[in-house]
Amino acid sequence: MYHNFAELLSLCESKQVPLYEIILENEMQLTGKSGQEIYNEVKVRYGVMQNAGLKALQKKLQTKGSLIEGNAYRHFEYAVEKGGICGRFINVTMARALSGSEANASMSRICAAPTAGSCGILPSVVISLTEELDKSEKDALDALITASGLGSVVIRNASVSGAEGGCQLECGVAAAMAAAAAVQLSGGSPRCALDGFSIAIVNIMGLICDPVAGLVQIPCAQRNASGAVNALLSADLALGGMELPIPHDEVLDAMLKVGKMLPMQLKETALGGLAVTPTGRKIKKELFGSH
């Protein structure tokens, strides 16, 4: 039905329907499944997301090297007790994103959205905003379908691999998907949702992938938290009327080209950035030895 953002938006505007309706129709055609079957599958994934977003808030999860162990638990406690500079809602959202990262690092069940390393961003935004706006589960599933449809366009026309183009293709795309989901939950138009998506990409374009000791923990967990905030602020900018003069598909193409320009050392090889700081090298040696 569509191959890029422009075609998807054109279908939505010509039929005067939200993004998730066209995305759902396309998925039905591709899979041969009914709309209800697809909703049931998305509901299962939402349940996995909810569990991962809660798990590390209740107790500290054991992770390799304990590099991020307890971050979510402590931050949730901080958010509830003090509210924080950004307020309770933002800080609880960040805590949920951290919980997703810790669940991944502890080998718990997570839903890659779109990758394991960025798995906390989309769930934390959808769960927190559904709660904040008192939306229904159906509203949350519609938001996830919106996000997944835009993510599929990225996979078709670009990439979501940090090894191919840096963290901008993982946490960046996750934040963009979450921004579109947030706009959908807030009642924004399809064009507004795509504007939020593009703004989130612009905000994080060029971000390298530099995992300390090669583990998906530092700085991945911190970027899940910041990615969730990027999604929310990008959604707000779009809902407030901000439009980029650069078309959405051109933003995506620019991100891919930037990723290809990054040197190999900055694309998930742990040969650059934080991974090769003196302390980063020390952590790697302590965990894995000199080899």
pLDDT digits (tens, 9 = 90+) for 275-286: 999 999 999 999
Mean pLDDT of 43-67: 96
Mean pLDDT of 181-197: 98
φ, ψ (nearest 5 deg) of residue 267: -125, 70
Domain span holding position 68: 5-288
Mean pLDDT of 98-117: 97
DSSP secondary structure code for residue 159 in this structure: -
Mean pLDDT of 22-28: 98
Domain count, the chain: 1
Q: Cα separation of 80 and 288, whole Å? A: 37
DSSP secondary structure code for residue 62 in this structure: P
Write down the mean pLDDT value for the chain: 97
Mean pLDDT of 187-206: 98
Residue 149 clears pLDDT 90, i.e. is over it: yes
The predicted structure's pLDDT at residue 291: 64
Note whether 54 and 123 are within 8 A (CB).
no
Residue 290 clears pLDDT 90, i.e. is over it: no
Mean pLDDT of 154-173: 98
Residue 273 clears pLDDT 80, i.e. is over it: yes
Residue 37 clears pLDDT 70, i.e. is over it: yes
Mean pLDDT of 172-198: 98
What pTM was estimated for this model as a whole? 0.97
Give residue-wise pLDDT tens across range 75-88.
999 999 999 999 99
Q: Alpha helix locations (H) across the chain?
A: 5-15, 19-31, 35-58, 71-82, 88-105, 121-132, 137-157, 162-165, 171-185, 190-204, 220-239, 248-261, 278-288
